[in-house]
Amino acid sequence: MSREAILAAIKKNQPEYQALPDLSAFGQAGPGDPAAFKKVVESLGGQVYEITSFAEIQPLVAEHYTDLKQVVAIKDAYLPGAATQWQTGDGRQLEHVDLAIIPGQLGVAENGAIWVTESEIEVRVLPFITQHLAIVIDSKHILPTMHDAYEQIGAPSTGFSAFIAGPSKTADIEQSLVLGAHGAKSLTVFIIR
Amino acid sequence: MEQDHKEHSLLAETFNANESRVDWHDETLWWVRQKRDRMAWSIPEWEELREAASRIKHNVLGNMHDYLIEFEKNAIANGAVVHWAADAAEHNKIVLQLLQKQGVKRMVKSKSMLTEECHLNPYLAEHGIEVIDTDLGERIVQLAKEPPSHIVLPCIHKKKEEIGELFHEHLGTPAGNADPKFLTAAARQHLRKEFIQSRVAITGVNFAVAETGEMVVCTNEGNADMGAHLADVHIACMGIEKLIPQRKHLGVFLRLLARSATGQPITTYSSHFRKPKEGQQLHIVLVDNGRSRQLGREDFRNSLKCIRCGACMNTCPVYRRSGGHSYHNAIAGPIGSILAPNLDMKDYADLPFASTLCGSCSNVCPVKIDIHQQLYKWRQVITKEGYTKKTKAAGMHAMNIVLSKPGLYKTAGGVGRWVMRTFPAVVNNGMNPWYKQREMPAPPKESFADWYKKNRK
């Protein structure tokens, strides 16, 4: 067992304790700017639609995606007629999902990140394994910075959660940006006003 | 470890044989550095963020013992199994035992510089287990049987035509196709099969939060999530210095990490792993491997603040022109050069000298590590310990004699100028390292001291 030896060496070698810095100056009071949020998401390769009701999602989906065979919608109202009973299994049942429409808890205006947790998506791999991802977020839930986001989120309540900012991407081949590495090839964000 | 490689300057010479390629490498990395600058300049409080990050990490160094215990307690409460490894060998053994228990012969791994440091892949291969690296850049260098040359951009040294050839050979893509979009799509298909088949996934860890026992893993590709969420067993390997005290501190580090690394506002995915999914096992391997020793080195402990963004590499004039492989260490560049001597002072004695000490690394470091100061300090430690090459030591000794005696210095200068004027071939030849890639300057007729005497008196 190396635990005791490692801890003893650390205790012996660690420098004098120094207090943590105060982070309160970093947060910004008030809501985040939806226009700034939209701009960043677009710069990351995502597309953003401002809508006033869930009913507007279906025509936009029909217009922008062709050949959708399997669609998972977390709320029935997002897309009536989407797949049902997709939750059963170890995640591999979602291998052929073309589009997943999920809710986001909050968005961050400074970097386009959207907070998604296990309690909404139910199956952890869903937003990653789907070919295309759409996230629905309330414009009132857009915050200015990451500091404000963590302040709002507070202590963890689920086993898994993630910030998702744009579609999956890579620039590993000669720094050429390519969307669609291993996760979703595209990201659409619906901002409900 | 026996020295079975050449030293940095010789490896850099090989890299420098192809001049246009060096220029391309240099410019590509400088372009990434410029993207980082634009991002940094767009945040008015950037410098305050760096200062806060540095101080949070300093707090971690001074309280690491308690934070580790706190993290372990919370991780266990979350349902994870926590393992402790004193060194690379123990880390590899722990991982192997977990894999053998599952009876797997093939598994997926997302980016983890720690497993590179521990040489996990070759160790598992010796035991009949194949690791599939799933980060695109890492998969490319794995197919090429090379180590990554950069911690964030593993195949930054490769041309797309070479990648096209590799994919043609290993993945069956058409010969001659070197289109990044096409090749990425081919890799996506190939690796999806691996994700679906794999029952075990190894990931690295970017940040481990003591307060919550959760781990944050950052990727752009989504490979860590594809692997971990589909696997029955998730093994997360982390160096003990990845700890941060509280969840709110992630706000500081996630703002700095991707902006410093690639000039993005944040990585596509910042995944917070807290509990294993239902029916899944989550194993966390906490690795020391010299870190507790480095913690005790007052001059060098700040190197443990590193968040592995790679900004110091992108900005380094030596790294950009010598390539990551010339550092013969899992972590290249300035940060690798101050971490490596702690692991093996003799084997890595050349690395702190692979620098101009210009300080650019320290200026871009998001956690304000005094990298160039540490490079300078390592040189002194290494020389004192007697690990410098005999020729270098002899040269330094001769210089010390000449520079400390004004009369001798004056005579030597006069002789030197006379030799350079009369027999230029003595210095203008391949034996003189200063002549490589350079023209020697024309020798002046008189020394500065002579000129000063004439003009000021």
Beta carbons of A17 and B255 less than 8 Å apart: no
Beta carbons of A173 and B212 less than 8 Å apart: no
**Number of structural domains chain A divides into:** 1
In this prediction, residues B77-105 reach a mean pLDDT of: 98
The pLDDT assigned to A118 comes to: 97
Q: If you average pLDDT over every residue of chain B, what do you get?
A: 95
Q: Are residues B384 and B403 in the same domain?
A: no
The pLDDT assigned to B398 comes to: 87
If one compares B139 and B6, the residue with the highest pLDDT of the two is B139
| A19: closest chain B residue by CA | B59
* A177 assigned to some structural domain: yes
* B277 in contact with A, Cβ within 8 Å: yes
pLDDT of B89 higher than 90 = yes
Q: Are residues B149 and B249 in the same domain?
A: yes
**Number of structural domains chain B divides into:** 3
CATH number of domain containing B61: 3.40.50.10420
Q: Count of CB contacts below 8 A, A vs B?
A: 251
Q: In chain B, what percentage of residues exceed pLDDT 70?
A: 99
pLDDT in tens, B303-328: 999 999 999 999 999 999 999 999 99
In this prediction, residues A75-95 reach a mean pLDDT of: 93
* A12 assigned to some structural domain: no
Q: Terminus-to-terminus CA distance in chain B, angstroms?
A: 60
pLDDT of B172 higher than 50 = yes
Tokens 């997709």 — which residue?
A86
Beta carbons of B137 and A170 less than 8 Å apart: yes
In this prediction, residues B413-426 reach a mean pLDDT of: 85
* B195 assigned to some structural domain: yes
Query: What's at B66, amino acid-wise?
Result: D
Please name the member of A2, A111, A176 whose beta carbon is closest to the beta carbon of B90.
Answer: A2
Separation in Å, CA of A105 to nearest CA in chain B? 15
Q: Are residues B24 and B138 in the same domain?
A: no
Q: Are residues B210 and B164 in the same domain?
A: yes
Q: Are residues B279 and B352 in the same domain?
A: no
Query: What's at B234, amino acid-wise?
Result: H
Please name the member of B68, B196, B265 whose beta carbon is closest to the beta carbon of A7.
Answer: B68
Q: Are residues B269 and B370 in the same domain?
A: no
pLDDT of B213 higher than 70 = yes
Q: Which of B263, B289, B315 is the last residue of a domain?
A: B289
Among A46-50, A62-66, B424-428, the range scoring the smallest mean pLDDT is B424-428
Domain that holds residue B344: 1-42+307-388
* A17 assigned to some structural domain: no
pLDDT of B417 higher than 70 = yes
Q: How many CB atoms lie within 10 A of CB A134?
A: 28
Q: Which of B340, B363, B388 is the last residue of a domain?
A: B388
pLDDT of A26 higher than 70 = yes
Q: Which of B364, B388, B412 is the last residue of a domain?
A: B388
pLDDT of B3 higher than 60 = no
Separation in Å, CA of B97 to nearest CA in chain A? 15
* A160 assigned to some structural domain: yes
* B299 assigned to some structural domain: no
pLDDT of B110 higher than 80 = yes
- HEC secondary structure over chain A: CCHHHHHHHHHHHCCCCCCCCCCCCCCCCCCCCHHHHHHHHHHCCCEEEEECCHHHHHHHHHHHCCCCCCEEECCHHHCCCCCCCCCCCCCHHHCCCCEEEEECCEEECCCCCEEEEHHHHCCCCHHHHCCEEEEEEEHHHEECCHHHHHHHHCCCCCCEEEEECCCCEECCCCCCCEECCCCCCEEEEEEEC
CA dist B65 and B410 (Å) reads 57
Q: Please report which confidence band the pLDDT of residue B388 belongs to, taking 50, 70 and 90 as the band edges.
A: confident
Q: Are residues B249 and B346 in the same domain?
A: no
In this prediction, residues A40-51 reach a mean pLDDT of: 98
In this prediction, residues B436-454 reach a mean pLDDT of: 85
Q: Are residues B329 and B235 in the same domain?
A: no
Q: Are residues B173 and B217 in the same domain?
A: yes
Q: Are residues B353 and B427 in the same domain?
A: no
Q: Are residues B384 and B421 in the same domain?
A: no
Mutant choice from B215, B268, B275, B297 vs A, greatest count of A C-beta within 10 A: B268
pLDDT of B99 higher than 60 = yes
* B393 assigned to some structural domain: no
The pLDDT assigned to B283 comes to: 98
* A19 assigned to some structural domain: no
Q: In chain A, what percentage of residues exceed pLDDT 90?
A: 95
- Rounded to two decimals, the ipTM of the complex is 0.98
* B87 assigned to some structural domain: yes
In this prediction, residues B274-279 reach a mean pLDDT of: 96
CATH number of domain containing A175: 3.40.50.10420
Q: Are residues B67 and B140 in the same domain?
A: yes
pLDDT of B143 higher than 90 = yes
The pLDDT assigned to B4 comes to: 60
The pLDDT assigned to B1 comes to: 39
* B341 assigned to some structural domain: yes
Residues of A in contact with B153 (CB under 8 A): 171-172, 175
* B441 assigned to some structural domain: yes
Among B259-268, B311-320, B387-396, the range scoring the smallest mean pLDDT is B387-396
Global pTM value: 0.94
| Residues 230-269 of chain B whose Cβ lies under 8 A from any Cβ of chain A | 230, 232, 240, 245, 247-252, 254-255, 262, 264-269
Q: If you average pLDDT over every residue of chain A, what do you get?
A: 96
* B189 assigned to some structural domain: yes
Residues of B in contact with A1 (CB under 8 A): 84
The pLDDT assigned to A45 comes to: 97
pLDDT of B92 higher than 80 = yes
| Residues 331-350 of chain B whose Cβ lies under 8 A from any Cβ of chain A | none
| CA distances, B389 to each of B321, B353, B375 (Å) | 23, 11, 17
* B110 assigned to some structural domain: yes
Q: Please report which confidence band the pLDDT of residue B360 belongs to, taking 50, 70 and 90 as the band edges.
A: very high
Domain that holds residue A58: 27-192
Residues of B in contact with A184 (CB under 8 A): 222
